């Protein structure tokens, strides 16, 4: 038997007997490490383990405690992690080292890996271990998963597929930092009425036109709401009208936060501020249609203000300039536009030119600096094909709704709108089938242009502008279910 293997087995047995757990041994395949190498010792520089490529064994050997493997020397050296990386004599400086993942660090090297990173996860791409930089604690991926530093999370991907995956490894040469996008805001898209997507969630970054899957909801949601980047509350829905879910960015999961006293589905919501809470307004049941519920920051709930009209299938536009919300259209009052404040109804604005329900709405700041309200698409009880494609704008100085030349590419209802960095985006909808379109309204040209597609086609879903940093680290690969 090869002497190195005997020596390695001796060390492994000794460590077991002594219950020595000073470090967590990274696990990798000697078949991969030794690919193309017939003799000698090979390993990942500054790691704890290496392989005897001449033995034919797939079992890695471990350096003695306090030593790390230097691939330039081809042996273990008594050296610390940071010194190892910086030492001129230790690591091969060209790219001749077998390209597996990256150097595997000891858990106590999390301090080195997390240098300059206060939160999130960092690690070596395609490795099985990573560090939680909020605590500098090393963690091992679940079985069958590898760490992807571009996403900042473990992903179910094979060792062979991982290095070449477009979504897994950072494209620069830094293998020890989470690749957080420059975009501070993103659009979170949840649920939908069409079969199979009700529990799915995706994140869309419009500037880079990148989408990724997020951890799934614990139940299927449709005709629900989620509308604020700070509270992360997702409430109500058809069949789920008595509960709200809340996202935990620390744990990467959704959990039930409220059991509602009044069932809410086909409703609208408004969060005037994280310190005030979220109003759920209207709905499909008798006690919800003309009422609202205030979900307070401390987790309690109380009756909110009464609604002037029965409200279902309407669309709400938050106006942060005036601390108001504008409710447009709906099943019972398709042309009505009402303004509400913290204490309830304030006034009605001029009616829509074309009544609509199940439409999209949002607002943006014009080139003149005015806030403009926008509604588009939707459905009328008396079918009007043109109405389902039309767009209307309301500018306070004009004092009425004006039909825009902008028309949707086809009649759509069940579509949703959001404004991010003053870009008006429209997501999904239905017209003889569910759509995955992402459209952008161009105010200067009064047109819609397609800028992308959702990962799932959706109708009667919910969209919300969120902080990218609250979600990005939990992104999954495009073909994975988180």
303 and 223 inside one domain? yes
Looking at 144, 161, 179, the residue that finishes a domain is 179
401 neighbors 353 (Cβ within 8 angstroms): yes
301 and 443 inside one domain? yes
Looking at 75, 100, 125, the residue that finishes a domain is 100
165 and 304 inside one domain? no
Where in the sequence is the domain holding 75, given as residue range(s)? 1-100
Mapped onto helix, strand or coil, the DSSP state of residue 111 is helix
360 and 456 inside one domain? yes
Find, among 360, 316, 361, 366, the residue nearest to 338 by Cα. Answer: 316
439 and 348 inside one domain? yes
Q: Give residue-wise pLDDT tens across range 441-473.
A: 999 999 999 999 999 999 999 999 999 989 998
Of residues 14 and 426, more confidence is placed in: 426
7 and 76 inside one domain? yes
CA dihedral 101, 103, 108, 113 (to 10 degrees): -80
For residue 13, what is the enclosing H or E element? helix 3-17
Strands of 141-286 (E only): list them.
146-148, 153-155, 185-190, 201-205, 210-214, 233-235, 243-248, 253-259, 268-273, 277-281
Q: Is the pLDDT of residue 480 over 70?
A: no
Query: Which pLDDT belongs to residue 4?
Result: 46
437 and 357 inside one domain? yes
Instruction: Please list, in sequence order, all residues whose beta carbon lies within 8 angstroms of the beta carbon of residue 325, skipping any fewer than 6 positions away.
Output: 270, 272, 279, 281, 316, 317, 318, 319, 339, 340
Q: In total, how many domains does the chain have?
A: 3
Of residues 39 and 171, more confidence is placed in: 39
Token look-up 């880079």 returns: 208
Assigned domain for 51 exists: yes
* Residue 218 to residue 336: CA distance in whole angstroms: 36
315 and 289 inside one domain? yes
109 and 93 inside one domain? no
Assigned domain for 482 exists: no
Assigned domain for 165 exists: yes
132 neighbors 124 (Cβ within 8 angstroms): no
3 and 15 inside one domain? yes
Assigned domain for 297 exists: yes
Assigned domain for 7 exists: yes
160 and 280 inside one domain? no
Structure tokens at 169: 């490894």
Assigned domain for 298 exists: yes
* Residue 433 to residue 412: CA distance in whole angstroms: 10
3-state DSSP helix/strand/coil % of the chain, to nearest 5 = 10, 35, 55
**Across 34-39, average pLDDT:** 80
Structure tokens at 142: 């679940």
| CATH number of the structural domain spanning residue 225 | 2.120.10.80
Assigned domain for 63 exists: yes
**Across 93-97, average pLDDT:** 46
Rounded percentage of the chain residues whose pLDDT exceeds 70: 81
Q: Is the pLDDT of residue 51 over 80?
A: yes
Q: Give residue-wise pLDDT tens across range 213-222.
A: 999 999 999 9
Q: Is the pLDDT of residue 172 over 60?
A: no
Cα(first)–Cα(last) distance of the chain, in Å? 45
Count CA atoms within 13 Å of residue 40 on its CB side.
Answer: 13
Q: Residue 61's Cα: distance from chain center in Å?
A: 39
Looking at 66, 100, 134, the residue that finishes a domain is 100
Rounded percentage of the chain residues whose pLDDT exceeds 90: 53
Of residues 140 and 371, more confidence is placed in: 371
Cα 459 to Cα 376, 378, 416, 452, 454, distances in angstroms: 15, 12, 8, 16, 11
174 and 245 inside one domain? no
Classify strands 447-453 and 434-442 as parallel, antiparallel or unpaired.
Answer: antiparallel
Assigned domain for 28 exists: yes
């Amino acid at each position: 038997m090869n002497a190195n293997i005997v020596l390695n087995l001796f060390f492994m047995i000794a460590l077991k007997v002594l219950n020595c757990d000073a470090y967590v041994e990274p696990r990798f395949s000697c078949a991969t490490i030794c690919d193309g190498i017939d003799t000698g010792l090979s390993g990942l520089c500054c790691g704890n383990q290496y392989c005897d490529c001449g033995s034919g064994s797939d079992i890695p050997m471990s350096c003695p405690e306090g030593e790390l493997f230097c691939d330039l020397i081809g042996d273990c050296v008594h050296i610390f992690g940071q010194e190892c990386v910086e030492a001129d004599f230790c690591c091969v400086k060209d790219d001749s080292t077998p390209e597996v993942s990256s150097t595997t660090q000891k858990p106590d090297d999390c301090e080195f890996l997390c240098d300059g990173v206060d939160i999130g996860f960092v690690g070596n791409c395609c490795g099985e271990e990573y560090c939680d930089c909020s605590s500098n604690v090393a963690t091992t991926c679940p079985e069958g998963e590898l760490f992807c530093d571009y996403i900042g999370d473990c992903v179910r991907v094979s060792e062979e597929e991982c290095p070449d995956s477009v979504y897994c490894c950072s494209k620069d040469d830094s293998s020890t930092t989470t690749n957080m996008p420059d975009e501070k805001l993103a659009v979170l898209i949840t649920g939908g009425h069409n079969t199979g997507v009700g529990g799915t969630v995706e994140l869309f970054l419009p500037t880079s036109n990148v989408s990724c899957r997020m951890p799934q909801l614990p139940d299927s949601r449709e005709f629900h709401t989620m509308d604020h980047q700070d509270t992360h509350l997702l409430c109500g829905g058809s069949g789920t009208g008595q509960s709200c879910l809340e996202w935990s960015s620390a744990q990467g999961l959704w959990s039930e936060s409220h059991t509602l006293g009044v069932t809410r589905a086909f409703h609208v919501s408004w969060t005037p501020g994280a310190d005030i809470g979220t109003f759920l307004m209207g709905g499909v049941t008798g006690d919800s249609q003309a009422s609202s519920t205030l979900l307070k920051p401390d987790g309690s709930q109380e009756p909110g203000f009464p609604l002037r009209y029965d409200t279902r299938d309407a669309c709400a536009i938050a106006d942060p300039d005036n601390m108001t919300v504008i409710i447009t259209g709906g099943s019972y009052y398709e042309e009505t536009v009402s303004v509400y404040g913290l204490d309830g109804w304030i006034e009605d604005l001029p009616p829509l030119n074309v009544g609509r329900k199940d439409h999209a709405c949002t607002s943006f700041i014009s080139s003149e600096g005015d806030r403009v309200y926008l509604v588009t698409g939707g459905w009328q009880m008396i079918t009007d094909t043109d109405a389902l494609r039309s767009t209307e704008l309301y500018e306070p100085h004009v004092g009425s709704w004006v039909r825009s030349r902008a028309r949707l590419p086809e009649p759509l209802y069940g579509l949703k709108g959001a404004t991010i960095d003053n870009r008006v985006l429209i997501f999904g909808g239905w017209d003889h089938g569910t759509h995955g379109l992402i459209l952008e309204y161009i105010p200067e040209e009064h047109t819609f242009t397609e800028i992308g597609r959702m990962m799932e086609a959706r109708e009667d879903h919910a969209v919300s502008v969120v902080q990218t940093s609250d979600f990005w680290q939990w992104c999954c690969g495009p073909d994975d279910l988180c």
